[in-house]
Structure 1
């Protein structure tokens, strides 16, 4: 099951980056904002439960999809850009095996435990 979810993440990432390119959006903005969702990891300084809640809130597709819809509906390229960058970020995380977090530890995810590479 995990491999299917990782493949799904890769496919969503491919769709997001293709849409970003087709809409002619700013690559500078993409570079600047790509890692912004990972700032949510700082919440782990308050403990694993708070960290997981904050990380998961920022790594769900719901909010960026709302932004995509708002950007599309309003014609705002900035809002559309942010939504696509955010979707791409989440999808790449999932493709790499960084899933939503359990309260036990950062390494415990819905895609399995993240093991350190030696």
Structure 2
């Protein structure tokens, strides 16, 4: 089996666990809907070229920042930080599960393979 498929299955597991944690934590639907696609704002870096776009997109699409936000929220008692971090984590996992991986230059080239049609 292609190792990229394992990474996509792993992302599905993370997405499911994150949604369960969000529900257990009592996060609201409105906040979830409002923040779900917020990390995609980082793609605006592509307006400055592929190299800058890949960096800005990748910085917003790794697990370390949202999980750090969850940790800070738990440590400080901030429910908003925990909720935001869980939504962000879900977003990253959702993207990875459907093949939108970390960018390798152009938007279509990712660590999970090429996005879209070839040619």
Q: TM-score, normalised by structure 2?
A: 0.94
Which of 94, 97, 100 aligns to 1:98? It is 100
Q: Does 1:76 align with 2:78?
A: yes
- What per-residue deviation string (whole Å, max 9, x for no partner) do you get for residues 39-69 of structure 1? 1111101110000000000001111111010
For this pair of structures, how many residues does the alignment match? 116
- Distance, in Å, in 2 between the alignment partners of 1:38 and 1:94 is 13
Q: Which runs of 5+ in 1 are unaligned?
A: none
CA distance in 1, matches of 2:83, 2:24: 12
Q: What is the deviation of 1:25?
A: 1.1
- RMSD after superposition: 1.1
Higher strand share: 2
SS of equivalent residue, structure 1 residue 98: coil
Q: Deviations over 1:59-117 (max 9, x none)?
A: 011111110101111111100000000000000000000000012x1100000111239
Q: How does 1:1-118 map to 2 (within 5 A)?
A: 1-103=3-105, 105-116=106-117
